[in-house]
Amino acid sequence: MGSGQVTSSVSPDFQGMHVTVAGLGVSGVPAAKVLHARGAIVTVVNDGDDARAREQAAELEALGVTVRLGDTASVSGSAAGTLPEGTELVVTAPGWKPDKPLFQAARAAGVDIWGDVELAWRLRGRDGREAAPWLAVTGTNGKTTTVQMLASILRAAGLRTAAVGNIGVSLLDAVLEDQAYDVLAVELSSYQLHWAPSLRAHSAAVLNVAPDHLDWHGSMEAYAKDKGRVYEGNRVACVYNVADKLTEELVRGADVEEGCRAVGFTLGTPGPSQLGVVDGILVDRAFVENRRENAQELAEVSDVNPPAPHNIANALAAAALARAYGVPPTAVRDGLRAFTPDAHRIAHVADVDQVAYVDDSKATNTHAAEASLASYGSIVWIAGGLAKGATFDELVAKSAKRLRGVVLIGADRALIREALARHAPEVPVVDLDRTDTGAMLAAVREARRLAVAGDTVLLAPACASMDMFANYNKRGDAFAQAVRELGA
């Protein structure tokens, strides 16, 4: 067992270094500013040339950064295909695919490629400050909620912390902030992990691994490998999901520090070195003395908001990371009680005629939708949108017994309808041949017609939203507004 340290040809001193930043947006602009402030000669290349990109470009050009907009950033044979002249390092936005001509040229020239997370990792603890440890979370679903729970628990322990990374708060901002943090709760996507070769977290968790973003990674194997990078070099704990064997396999394959432990979380009774649930109590058998004989109560299931099975799993993963950092049991309880989930995550909107209406618009893939559907007994399901290459047979087969009815919307609804015909032919299905935003009101009205007292009308689309809405937030807002109109 070794530290797994990664070496690089790049010096942490950027003075006079020619750096190409690939992509603008929420990560590229801060990266360009940070590098420029440290004396690098920065060129930004960006695929898009819309109004937002031009505004960001003007901001950077005013500082002295060169910006190239349009297809020169990605088209084979373009200037970017041979790299901007003199490039010594490429720093990329996480969403840029590894097969971009720019990256092919960089690899051919022996130029390192970092993501914004790698840049933040390299810069942490500089300027004479002690580097805050990172508690890292990845997974196909549940990352944001788990990281927010973790941050709430850490705050309840009196620690200065923040939920950062893929959650929308820049890691660069966090590591360079004037007042140093004690510890950071870090959400990491598979994209970010792909471009972060030297990241070494204090402890990390992989919540689950299900097919997603396979068009970016190229295969399920490559996707899982990038998820597993989060475990590399962990010092204290690699947290895995007992119900997802692939997460445990990723732990077994990781090169970690000597003494780092595998810690599982389960919705069942925990074994030694696990956290789990006993008689409605969240229990720790990993971070206690004589864990073969002893267990520590952490919180009640009712302290988790909402107490759906997959959210309890999120809470256990957050608790495991917090306990790995040495947080006391009372902080786990207090942090979970203080946590409020973001909108559009199994959010109860209203009860109308004794039927509950629940918005889980964030369930943009089949794995998330399966967890959402498992939270209720009798459901009228509103589903559909952009499938992103997904298939729905397994989801429908597992959920069929819970379905009172289904209302389908969106561009790829036929895929779900066909799966329903194969695996739940007795379930009534309303197929709304519409992709306009007004279709949501029609969908909610149809769902009301199908539901009876005690049912849950659940928006858990299992698909992306962009065929009808700007994002899943707008889709959830439309659902909530339609429900309000029912009760008016």
From first to last of the 488 residues of the chain, give the pLDDT tens digit: 333 334 455 555 799 999 999 998 888 999 999 999 999 999 999 988 888 899 999 999 999 999 999 844 444 444 445 689 899 999 998 888 888 899 999 999 999 999 999 999 999 977 666 799 999 999 988 999 999 999 999 999 999 999 999 887 789 989 988 888 999 999 999 999 999 999 999 999 999 998 666 666 578 888 889 999 999 999 999 999 999 999 999 999 999 999 999 999 999 999 999 999 999 999 999 999 988 888 999 999 999 998 999 999 999 999 999 999 999 999 999 999 999 988 888 899 999 999 999 999 999 999 899 999 999 999 999 999 999 888 999 999 999 999 999 999 999 999 999 999 999 999 999 999 888 888 999 999 999 999 999 999 999 999 999 999 999 999 999 999 999 998 66
Residue 267 included in any domain: yes
**Is 142 one of the annotated binding-site residues?**
yes
Boundary (domain end) residue, out of 314, 338, 362: 338
Look up residue 16 and give its DSSP letter: T
**Is 139 one of the annotated binding-site residues?**
yes
Q: What does residue 75 show for φ and ψ, rounded to 5 degrees?
A: -80, 130
Q: What does residue 173 show for φ and ψ, rounded to 5 degrees?
A: -60, -40
* Tokens 């470009």 found at: 57
CA-nearest of 123, 80, 85 to 103 is: 80
370 and 334 within one domain? no
Residues 127, 264: Cα–Cα separation, whole Å: 37
217 and 269 within one domain? yes
**Is 268 one of the annotated binding-site residues?**
no
Q: How many CA atoms lie within 13 A of 209 on its CB side?
A: 26
Q: Cα torsion for 12, 15, 19, 22, to the nearest 10°?
A: 70
pTM (two decimals): 0.83
The CATH number of the domain where 239 resides is what?
3.40.1190.10
435 and 360 within one domain? yes
Confidence (pLDDT) at 383: 97
Q: What is the span of the domain harbouring residue 143? A: 124-338
- Sequence-distant (6+) residues with CB within 8 A of 24 are 44, 46, 48, 53, 56, 57, 67, 93
Which SS3 state, helix, strand or coil, does residue 258 take?
Answer: coil
361 and 325 within one domain? no
The CATH number of the domain where 77 resides is what?
3.40.50.720
384 and 308 within one domain? no
**Is 92 one of the annotated binding-site residues?**
no
User: If 0-12 CB within 10 Å is exposed, 13-18 middle and 19+ buried, where does residue 100 land?
Assistant: buried
178 and 312 within one domain? yes
Residue 333 included in any domain: yes
Residues 57, 283: Cα–Cα separation, whole Å: 51
Q: What does residue 450 show for φ and ψ, rounded to 5 degrees?
A: -80, -25
132 and 103 within one domain? no
- Residues 350/484, Cβ–Cβ less than 8 Å: yes
Residue 12 included in any domain: no
315 and 408 within one domain? no
Lookup: tokens for 440: 């949501």
* Tokens 């009798």 found at: 378
Helices (H) and strands (E) in the chain, counts: 17, 20
**Is 241 one of the annotated binding-site residues?**
no
Look up residue 386 and give its DSSP letter: B
Look up residue 130 and give its DSSP letter: P
**Is 87 one of the annotated binding-site residues?**
no
**Is 100 one of the annotated binding-site residues?**
no
Q: How many CA atoms lie within 13 A of 217 on its CB side?
A: 20
Report in angstroms the alpha-carbon separations of 227 from 253, 365, 480. 12, 17, 34
Residues 473, 85: Cα–Cα separation, whole Å: 41
Residue 415 included in any domain: yes
* Tokens 């805050």 found at: 132
